[in-house]
Amino acid sequence: MDYKIITKSEEETIELAQNLESEKFPNMVICLIGDLGSGKTVFTKGFAQSLGIEENITSPTFNIIKEYTGGEMNLYHMDVYRLDGNIKNIGLEEYFNKDGIVIIEWADMIEEFLPEERLEIRFKLKDENTRTITFIPHGTKYEEICEAIL
């Protein structure tokens, strides 16, 4: 089952991310999909703030992976856009088992390498402030999280 939410501001997108963070668990994988400017990094900022990470969260477009270790759990923020599906040299699978949380922007570009159980979140920009955010859980644990927060 898919779950759709409409947010009408950056603050509402951040609040949604903070609600999801309250249901976090080790090795959680969140896959963000959407066009440029659709809210993927804003969502990640809200999630990171709720984890207690004080660093400024920016898209790791040129770094590919940014590791944030200053919160309740480690956060591994990835942007795989520039990889063109070639993930051989980044050790992706290792991150899925580091007891932290993995958030991947542009995850649809590496879908065949993602774990079977994950939370897919699709962002669709309706206008400058309004987004339709669709949660697609893959696995029972993620379905339970969606039921709890949405």
pLDDT band at 5 (very low <50, low <70, confident <90, very high): very high
Model pLDDT for residues 82-134, shown as the tens digit of each residue: 876 677 777 888 999 999 999 999 999 999 999 999 999 999 999 989 999 99
Domain boundaries, the chain: 3-149
**Residue 24 pLDDT > 70, yes or no?**
yes
Instruction: Give the DSSP letter string of 1-15.
Output: --EEEEE-SHHHHHH
CATH superfamily to which 3-149 belongs: P-loop containing nucleotide triphosphate hydrolases (3.40.50.300)
pLDDT band at 63 (very low <50, low <70, confident <90, very high): confident
pTM of the model: 0.95
Model pLDDT for residues 37-61, shown as the tens digit of each residue: 899 999 999 999 999 999 999 887 7
Q: Sign of dihedral through CA atoms 63, 67, 68, 72?
A: positive
**Bridge partners of residue 81, in order along the sequence:** none
